[in-house]
Amino acid sequence: MQTNYAFFQGQIVPIEQAKVSVMTHALHYGTACFGGIRAYWNEQQEQLYIFRLEDHIKRFLSSASLLLMNLPYSAEQLRAAVVELLRCEGQRNDMYVRPLAYKADHKIGVLLHDMIDEVTIFATPFGRYVANEEGASVCVSSWRRVDDNAIPARGKIAGAYVNSSLVKSEALMDGYDEAIVLDEYGHASEGSAANIFMVRDGQLITPPVSANILEGITRRTVMELAAADLGIRVEEREIDRTELYVCDELFFCGTGVQVASITAVDRRPVGAGVMGPITNAIRNLYFDVVRGNVERYRSWNTPVFDHA
């Protein structure tokens, strides 16, 4: 990875200096939480725009509070650290930023309270997360999505990503691009690291926040863009497995996957088996918005470089 610096113990240091002990609590028990933020390079404006930085930091802090963390940094300090880190990296490229808050104690014992909590952040150039964004072939996973009463599903909790990794590896090893995971009640929850939307009769449908989903920032973005700019009604409700087989369009959305069309589920074609018009329209608008090309959404784009 082309990463030169990290925010570590309160300052930006060369990446080689950002090291933790093998005794670190988070390494043993998954007692960490993270964020995933993209920054998009705008060639015309020669600017790197971080997408919805404020919302990402806000969710990062709520994940941390689910783990009873007392982080030594404010939201403002974390936002400033992300901007400064990207400035130091100096890349004129699309970037991915990974903040991680972790239980830094060197102690044996499963608990969350009265511990040392630390934050590190690094950034790396990043392209596609799913190879086939225009037409992913997915399965319904044999694994179930982690339940909110087992590990908080609405937080990006490191340990819970064992669940996501089981889902993703099963799908890839079976020849699919991704998977859709059902929750404990058998309803479609999300992908391994992305939310899902279904189109039926011209309407967008996505599982509610009570379906053990991560409350995705891209999901919220898609809901806002669909309603405000494309005039498409969005409903939050449970989705049955077999609706995935009979719907007109299906797509994933997330910071990593961006907006990725799903064209087959369990080898059955979705709709006509190619990316549908609503997915296509949302995808195009999304890419314009994240890159800082849509004036009315510019409050979502934090510039990194100072052109003054």
Asked if 36 interacts with ligand PMP (CB under 6 A), we say yes
Residue whose pair of structure tokens reads 């002990």 in the numeric block = 21
Indicate which single residue of 24, 91, 195, 302 sits in contact with ligand PMP (rule: CB under 6 A): 195
Residue whose pair of structure tokens reads 């700019």 in the numeric block = 229
Query: CA–CA separation, 210 vs 148, rounded Å?
Result: 9
Query: CA–CA separation, 15 vs 77, rounded Å?
Result: 20
Q: Give the containing element (helix H, strand E) for 142.
A: strand 136-144
Asked if 91 interacts with ligand PMP (CB under 6 A), we say no
Asked if 141 interacts with ligand PMP (CB under 6 A), we say no
Asked if 214 interacts with ligand PMP (CB under 6 A), we say yes
- Please, what is the minimum distance in Å from the beta carbon of residue 180 to ligand PMP? 12
- Nearer to ligand PMP by Cβ, of 115 and 119: the residue is 119
Asked if 25 interacts with ligand PMP (CB under 6 A), we say no
Reply yes or no on whether 58 is catalytic.
Answer: no
At a CB cut-off of 8 Å and minimum separation 6, what does 277 contact? 249
- Nearer to ligand PMP by Cβ, of 115 and 129: the residue is 129
- Nearer to ligand PMP by Cβ, of 115 and 139: the residue is 139
**Are 71 and 91 spatial neighbours (Cβ–Cβ below 8 Å)?**
no
Q: What's the Cα-to-Cα distance from 17 to each of 5, 28, 82, 215, 220, rounded to whole Å?
A: 9, 21, 18, 33, 37
- Nearer to ligand PMP by Cβ, of 6 and 151: the residue is 151
Say which DSSP state 52 is in.
S
> Within 243-272, which residues bind ligand PMP (CB under 6 A)?
254-256
Provide the annotated active-site residues. 156
Per CB under 6 A, residues contacting ligand PMP are 36, 164, 190, 193-195, 214, 216-219, 254-256
